[in-house]
Amino acid sequence: MFVPGLIERKRERGALTADEWRGLLAAYAEGRVPDYQISALLMACFLNGLTREELPGLLDGMMGEGGHLDFGRLGRPVVDKHSTGGVGDKVSLVLAPLVAACGVAVPMMSGRGLGHTGGTLDKLESIPGFDTQRSLEATMAQVERVGCAMIGQTPEIAPVDKKLYALRDVTATVESIPLIAASIMSKKLSEGLTGLVLDVKLGSGAFITDAARSRELAETMIRLGEDRGCRTVALLTAMDRPLGRACGNALEVEESVEALKGGGPDDLREVTLAEGVEMLMLAGRTDRGAARRELEEALAGGRAARKFQEIIEAQGGNPAVVDDPAVLPQAKQVEVYAAPRAGTVLEVAPRPIGRAIVQMGGGRQKVDDVVDPTVGFVISARPGQRVAKGEPLASIYARHDEDVRVARAALDQAVRIGEGAASPLPLVAARMTVTGTEPVAA
């Protein structure tokens, strides 16, 4: 294999064959191709894209000789969801136990916070004792016994993606539709799923802020999933404001528990139910209305909250968190943020909020940073709301005065108050499948 020739072909907008991708990435996994050549190749892919025919070859190469989960012997549908990431996006914490409580197997493999967005693993790890680093065997056994496991990527799953992702992170080659699609789907397709729901975020807080490109990303992932026999549906959901009120790891767990008990903010409940209906339909339900009622009953009747307790217990965490949020680590300081003027809340921008959480210690600025689970915000201000000067709009949870200052500056930037009408994006804008896109009724 002559690697400079392959790089040159991508540079000149040509395509590699599936065999070439497989051979090249296998050699990379074994340390026979250096990072600098793969970096050059990634940049050529970033700039010139991949042809539709070429992408499955890259996907195979990323999955490499990695391990996978196999739930064949369960004899029931196995469904997961994946979000492209946002601020306050705690849907996975509610959805996985909820759908498992309805009898569907959910082997949920999630990630950590990335950039300004939070990560499900960091949120779960704010529950004392909760272990997200489980082996494939332990995960399979737990899914068989409890119906759900909530874990991080194991070393065996899509090992080449892991190496490539680390390289992309430091070579400015993350925001590429084919590279993101192959990376996400290499992990999801290793989970042995029969169905997958994608939550593709739209708006200023999403990684890809251009709506047309978000749709292209959704289409690309749907095609990769369907071609591998995994039925794949995408919902396009709003990330032009934080989802729910709580933003920050332990605070989001507390809000998720409220939602699992049938309460919590309306927008969180709505997105969770919309994705839950899709998951149940992929699992074989035939009536969307009945699927929604099934989910609502699991929330109201306490089965979803009990399932979360079972999952926490199975993974070494303290299940008392479901009855008593005081079990979660608590912030040293709590301060109120009041409206600096009267008017209409025109915007609550997610990015300054997400960035402030990272700065306050709730995310990582370096790979080895230790996350403080206690910090963050509970923001009650919603776009469209009329507010009086001095009215409380948010609570700040911080470690010390300096972080409170960072948080106040972020809220000054994020919460825009003025005159006129707010124009938030629809919460769930569209549903995409392999056959096309349909709007979702408000």
- Binding part of the chain for ligand URA, among 19-27, 173-181, 217-225, 289-297 by CB under 6 A, reads 173-181
220: contact with ligand URA by CB under 6 A: no
Q: Which stretch binds ligand URA (CB under 6 A): 180-188, 236-244, 270-278, 337-345?
A: 180-188
| CB 43 to ligand URA: min, Å | 15
The answer to the question of residue 224 lying near ligand URA (CB under 6 A) is no
Which C-beta is closer to ligand URA: that of 161 or that of 294? 161
Does residue 393 interact with ligand URA by CB under 6 A? no
Nearer to ligand URA, 197 or 299 (CB): 197
Minimum CB distance to ligand URA, residue 82 (Å)? 8
Q: Which residue is nearest to ligand URA (CB)?
A: 183
- Is 177 a binder of ligand URA (CB under 6 A)? no
Catalytic residues, by residue number, are 82, 161, 168, 183, 187
Q: Are 264 and 182 in contact (CB under 8 A)?
A: no
Of the pair 179, 353, the CB lying nearest ligand URA is at: 179
3-state SS string for the chain: CCHHHHHHHHHCCCCCCHHHHHHHHHHHHCCCCCHHHHHHHHHHHHHHCCCCCCHHHHHHHHHCCCECCCCHHHCCCEEEEEECCCCCCCHHHHHHHHHHHCCCEEEEEECCCECCECCHHHHHCCCCCCCCCCCHHHHHHHHHHHCEEEEECCCCECHHHHHHHHHHHCCCCCCCHHHHHHHHHHHHHHHCCCEEEEEEEECCCCCCCCHHHHHHHHHHHHHHHHHCCCEEEEEEEECCCCCCCEECHHHHHHHHHHHHCCCCCHHHHHHHHHHHHHHHHHCCCCCHHHHHHHHHHHHHCCHHHHHHHHHHHHCCCCHHHHCCHHHCCCCCEEEEEECCCCEEEEEECHHHHHHHHHHHHHCCCCCCCCCCCCCEEEECCCCCCEECCCCEEEEEEECCHHHHHHHHHHHHHHEEEECCCCCCCCCEEEEEECCEEEECCC
Residue 180 makes contact with ligand URA by CB under 6 A: yes
CB of 187 to ligand URA, least distance (A): 6
**Contact pick of 92, 183, 190, 220 for ligand URA (by CB under 6 A):** 183
Q: Which stretch binds ligand URA (CB under 6 A): 126-134, 174-182, 281-289, 400-408?
A: 174-182
Considering beta carbons, is residue 156 or 297 the nearer one to ligand URA? 156
Q: Is residue 184 near ligand URA by the rule CB under 6 A?
A: yes
- List the interface residues with ligand URA, window 73-132 (CB under 6 A): 111
Of residues 98 and 108, the one with the C-beta less far from ligand URA:
108
Residue number, 111 or 361, with CB nearest to ligand URA: 111
Which span sits near ligand URA by CB under 6 A: 136-144, 176-184, 223-231, 332-340? 176-184
CB nearer ligand URA, residue 15 or residue 198 = 198
Least distance (Å) between residue 165 CB and ligand URA: 6
- From 66-74, 179-187, 209-217, 310-318, give the range in contact with ligand URA by CB under 6 A: 179-187
Site for ligand URA (CB under 6 A): how many residues? 7
Q: Compute the C-alpha angle 406/409/414, nearest 5°.
A: 120
Contacts of 96 (CB under 8 A, 6+ apart): 81, 106, 108, 148, 150, 311
- Residue 149 found at the interface with ligand URA (CB under 6 A): no
**Which residues contact ligand URA by CB under 6 A?**
111, 165, 174, 179-180, 183-184
